[in-house]
Structure formats: C-alpha cells, structure tokens
Amino acid sequence: MIAAVVAGFLTGISLIVAIGAQNAYVLRQGLTGRFVFAVAAVSAVLDATLIVVGVAGLGAFLNSVPWLLELVRWLGAAYLVWFGIASLRRARSAGGLTAAANGSTSLGAALIASLTFSLLNPHVYLDTVVFLGAVANQFGDGRWWFAVGAATASFVWFFGLAYGARALSPHIAKPAFWRVLDSIIAVIMFGLAASLLMMPLG
C-alpha cells in the first residue's frame, strides 16, 4: 500500500511540475491574490478526477478513439493562441500592470479559465488518463492506492503553487514585473499551441 502511494505521488508530481498553461494560470492567480483557493481547488480536483478515470480504464478507450484527442488538440491550440495574444496585450497595456487588474475579474471567469486549461489540453489526458492509468494498473490490487498518491500530488502542487506565489508579492506592484511575466506566459502559450499541433497523439 505505502509503496503504491509513494510511487503514485512521485510519478504524479514529476508529470505535473512541467511548465504549462494550467500552471502559468494558477501562478498568475496566486500572484494577484484573486480567487486563489477556487482556482487551485478546481485544478486539483479535475486532475484527481482524470487520474481516477484513467485508473478505472478510460485510457484504453481513448486509445481506441483517436479522433477525440484530435478534436481536443485543435480546440486546445486555438484557446492557447487566444490566451497568448491576450497576455501580450496585457504586457503592452499600462492598465494591465497592477495586481488587481491582472487576474480574472470574476469568480465565474476564473473557474471557466481553470476548466478550460484543464480540459482543453491533450497533454492532460495523455498524462493522467492514459499514462498514469497504465502505470497504476501495473500495481494490480494496489492501483487505487497509486491513484491516491498521484491525486495527492496534484493537490500538493496546485495549492503550493497558488499560495507559494505570494512570496513574490513585493514585486507585483512593479510594472516591469507584470510586463515580463505576461510576455513569458505568452511565449509559453504559443509554444504549447505549436507543440499540440505538431505532436503525434497516436
């Protein structure tokens, strides 16, 4: 049991720490202090849910219906490009350089963005549903303990990232900080969009 939990945690955390759209958004909300708990909770719960779905066997189904991931690939790439353009506009706009103006302006907008970054990203399905699901099943009866470990990693990471971002709070009043952060986020979004369009999903 303990071995499966530890293996799940280490595997899950190793996949989730990679720089991506979801992590960039959670970091940004953490820096602004807007709807931090809600964004972290939605991100972690969705990640954990996909892990459970993968362990339950949906990963094999997705592999047999490749057009689903292909559809998500194009939707996800389009959204990433849109968000990247929005980030560039914020980086160039003096009005978007304060902490209050840089986060989602309402709880609904924050939740929708969190859902979108989680669900319109083929990497999420490949990592959680397909890969983690396949690895978990190597543990036989202990696969659900593996899932517990991987899901725990998601909660630790997203809440740690969201609330740990406040350590950077002394810098958020500086226009240059937001200009650089938004520019970096834009580059990440465009890079991820390109990688989605070029990556083989089969």
- pTM listed for this prediction: 0.69
pLDDT (0 to 100) of residue 137? 72
pLDDT (0 to 100) of residue 4? 87
The domain limits of the chain are 2-198
Cβ atoms of 31 and 99 closer than 8 Å: yes
pLDDT (0 to 100) of residue 12? 84
**Six token digits for residue 2:** 């303990």
Question: What number of residues does the chain have?
Answer: 202
pLDDT (0 to 100) of residue 147? 93
**Comparing C-alpha atoms, which of 24, 16, 18, 14 is closest to residue 189?**
24
- The Cβ of residue 34 has, within 10 Å, a number of other Cβ atoms equal to 21
Task: Give the side-chain half-sphere CA count within 13 A for 57.
Answer: 1
* Model confidence band, residue 101 (pLDDT cutoffs 50, 70, 90): very low
The average confidence (pLDDT) of the chain is 78
In whole angstroms, give the CA distance from residue 154 to residue 159.
8
Which of 60-69, 132-141, 165-174 reaches the highest mean pLDDT? Answer: 132-141
